[in-house]
Structure 1
Amino acid sequence: MSTSNNMLNILTLFSIEEPVLDADIICEKLNFSKPTGYRYIKDLVAHGLLQRLYGGQYTFGPKISVMDYISQQSNPILRLSIPLMLDIVEQTEFSCCLTQFYEDYCIDIHHESYKDSSLLAYGRGRPRPAYVGAAPKIILANTAMKIQKAIFQKYHEHFISSGFVETEAEFLEKLNQIKKQGYYLSKGELEPHLGALAVPIIYSTKAFPLALSIVGSVKRFNLIHVETIVEILTKAANHIESEFKNAE
C-alpha cells in the first residue's frame, strides 16, 4: 500500500467515539512498525492534519477546520441550496436539512433551523445510520439495485426489527414504491420525538442523490398537509437539479 494511502488510513481511524488516539494505538491498529507509524504521524502534524495533545495523544489538526470552511464556502450545491433552504424554513416553520450518502451512512452537509430550534441531535458532518429516517430511505430509493441489496444485506436485522420489511424482495419493492411516490415521510424512526419528510435531489448521474428534508416534532407532522410540503420541497429540488444540468 502506498504512503499516501497509509497516511489517509490514519485519518480515517478518528471518529466521534475515538476523537483522540495514542500513537502506539494507531500503529497497532494499522499494523505499522513504530518508526514507520511515527514518521507518518509526524508528517500529518507538519501539514496541520493532526495535532499532538499530550503524552503521545493526537487529534485532528487545524487544517481540517480550514478544509471544512473551504468546503462550505466553495461547494456549488450549498451555494444553490442554502437560499432555498432558508425559504423553506420560512414557509413551513420546520427545520430543513440537506443530506448526503457516503459508504454506508448518511451525513447532513447543511441544515437550517427554525428559530434556533434544538430538535436536531445530528448536525453537520455527524454520521447517522443508513437504515432509519426519511433522508436515507429516499436516497436509497433512487440508487442502483446493487447498492440497495448491499445495504439490506448489511442491515437486514435493523430493517426487520423496525417492521420496515422482512425480506430483500420486499425491501427492493418498498424502495421502488418510495421512488415512484417521490418522497418519504418518517415518524419516530431516527429519534422517537422527531419526524421528517424528504425528497431526492438527483443532480448527477455520477453521484448519489442528495436528500432535501424538513424535520420537526412528530406532533407537528400529525397536523401537516403532506402534499403541500412535498410540493415546496420538490420545487426546490427541481431548481437545484436544473441549475446543475445547465452547468454541465
Structure 2
Amino acid sequence: MREKAVNSLERLQAVLDVFTEERLEWTPEELMEELGYSRPTLYRYLKILKDRGFLTSMPNMGFTLGPRVVEMDYLLRKSDRLILSGAPYLQKLTARYECTALLVRWYGEKILCVDSLSSTHEAISSYPRGRPMPLSRGAIGRSIVAFLPRRNLVPLIGRTLDEWQAAGVGDTVEAVLEALKSVRKTGYAVAHGEVTPGVTGFAAPVFDAGQSPIASFSVTIARDRVHGSLVEEIGGDVRAAAGEISAALVSHRHRV
C-alpha cells in the first residue's frame, strides 16, 4: 500500500515537473501525451493540484502554476537558514562594491539563485532568483562542483562532459578535474564574461557541516571595474563571506 502511495505521489509531482521556463502552459491533451497518463488519472491529478492552488487555469486555456507556489516561496524566504544567514553578507558586499551579490543553492544537479541584492542601477546577472543556472559555465557552478567529493565529482563530470567541453573547461574528465584544482587551491572561482557578457563573476562554496557544498556565495561586477589587485581583494571577500555563512549554518545546526 505504501509503495502504491509513493508511486502516486511521484506521478503527481511529475505533473508539476513539466512546467519550465521554456514551457509555462500545458493543455490536458498535451499533458497526457507528455506524461503518458490516462485521461481519468490525469484529470484526478489536475483536480488535486488545482484545488490546492498549485495549478490554475482559465476557461478554454491551458494550466499554469498557481498561487500556492507564491505562498510557499514567501514561507521559504522566512525559513531558509541559507537566506537568513546570507542576507547580511549580501548587504555587506553590495555596500563595498558596485555589484550584484547572490546566494545560489545547489540541489540535485541544479543550481539556482535563492536571494540577491544589487548596488547597481541594473542587476549584473542573466539569472534572476529562481532561474536555474548553467553548471559548467561561470564561477558559481565551478565554486560548487570543485569542492564535491571525488566519488560524486567524477560521475557528475562524466554525465555532463559535453557541457564542460562546450564551455572550454576540458575535453576529458581528467582535464576538467585538473582545471578545477585552481578553484580548490584559492577557495573561490573567477570567470570573465562566461555567463553574462562584460561581467566578471566571483564565487565561493557554502557548507553546512557536510563534506559537499550546499550553496555558493557570489558577486558579479562589471568587468571594466575589475583590475589588478582588485581581483584577489574581491575574491578574498567572497571567500570570507562564504566561510562566515557556513559557520553560521553549522552553529544553527548544532543549536538545533
Q: Which residue of 2 aligns with 1:52?
A: 57
Match of 1:76 among 66, 74, 81: 81
1:127 alignment counterpart? 132
Task: Spell out the pairing of 1:1-248 with structure 2 (5 A cutoff).
Answer: 2-205=7-210, 208-222=213-227, 225-247=230-252, 248=254
The unaligned stretches of length 5 or more in structure 2 are none
Aligned 8 A contact 1:143 1:209 in 2: no
**Superposition deviation, residue 77 in structure 1:** 1.4
- Provide Cα deviations, 1:156-206, integer angstroms capped at 9, x if missing partner: 233224321122112122223311221111001112222101111122317
Q: Distance in 2 between matches of 1:114 and 1:26?
A: 42
Q: Secondary structure at the match of 1:238?
A: helix
Over residues 104-130 of structure 1, what are the superposed CA-to-partner deviations in whole Å (9 max), with x where a residue is unaligned?
A: 332011111113423322111101211
Quote the Cα distance in structure 2 between the aligned partners of 1:150 and 1:55. 45
Could you tell me which amino acid in structure 2 is paired with residue 218 of structure 1? R
CA displacement at 1:207 relative to structure 2 = 5.7
TM-score, with length taken from structure 2 = 0.90
TM-score, structure 1 length as denominator? 0.93
Go from structure 1 to structure 2 and tell me whether the alpha carbon gap of 1:161 and 1:236 turns closer, same or farther (over 3 Å shift).
Answer: closer
Amino-acid identity (%)? 23
User: The residue matched to 2:208 in structure 1 has which SS?
Assistant: coil
- 4+ residue stretches of structure 1 with deviation over 6 A? none
Distance 1:169 1:35 in 2: 50
Question: Is the contact between residue 100 and residue 106 of structure 1 (CA under 8 Å) also seen in structure 2?
Answer: yes
Per-residue deviation, 1:101:
1.9
Q: What displacement does 1:56 show?
A: 4.9
| Residue identity in the other structure for 1:229 | I
C-alpha contact 1:53 1:59 (8 A) present in aligned 2 = no
| Deviations, residues 49-102 of structure 1 (Å, cap 9, x unaligned) | 000123251000100000001101111111111111111100122110111223
- Kindly tell me: are residues 33 and 26 of structure 1, through their superposed partners in 2, closer, same or farther at Cα, counting changes over 3 Å? same
Distance 1:230 1:115 in 2: 19
**Whole-angstrom CA distance in 1 between matches of 2:109 and 2:143:** 14
- What RMSD, in angstroms, separates the aligned Cα atoms of the two structures? 1.8
Query: Quick one: distance in 1 between partners of 2:219 and 2:204?
Result: 9
